[in-house]
Amino acid sequence: DPNLIKIVLVNLLGNAAKYGKDNGEIRLRVARPPDALQVSVWNEGPGFPESARSRLFRRFSRIETPELMKRRGTGVGLYTSWRIIQLHGGKIDAESEEGRWAEFSFRIPQPLGQLAMSSDGLPGRVRS
């Protein structure tokens, strides 16, 4: 469902802006291999400790570092994104170099990987 994929993109881009470095760089990368749609959102900023990686996509989970706790959040955005991607038969993951950057990426298989990109750069309708 393209509307659900938009929710994932809004969550990931919103987190990059909220938790990233003030005036830091945010990168959105989209790849379309023959069998899937791959998207990643990278941002400069505090990142997260490797020890927190396994908890990132749990409902109501927040990383409790002094830097990240300054930002408000409910702990449901990444869980919601994980669930949407899972329901579409895909995978979502995260990597980080603590103190420097974080990257969240997902991959969904075709036919969802055949989503058309609309003029705003977000997935649109499925091509026939």
**Is there a domain that residue 97 lies in?**
yes
Confidence of residue 54 (pLDDT cuts 50, 70, 90): confident
The total number of structural domains that make up the chain: 1
List the domain range (segments joined by +) for residue 55: 2-114
Q: Is residue 128 part of a domain?
A: no
How many CB atoms within 10 Å of residue 33?
A: 10
pLDDT of residue 119 exceeding 50: no
CATH number of the structural domain spanning residue 13: 3.30.565.10
pLDDT of residue 8: 97
Residue 26 domain flag: yes
Q: Hey, which of 11-15, 57-61, 109-113 has the most confident mean pLDDT?
A: 11-15
**pLDDT, greater one: 75 or 65:** 75
27 inside domain: yes
In tens, the pLDDT along 21-46 reads 999 999 999 999 888 999 999 999 99
Rounded CA Rg of the chain: 15
Q: Can you give the pLDDT at residue 81?
A: 96
Element (H, E) at 84: helix 77-87
pTM of the model: 0.78
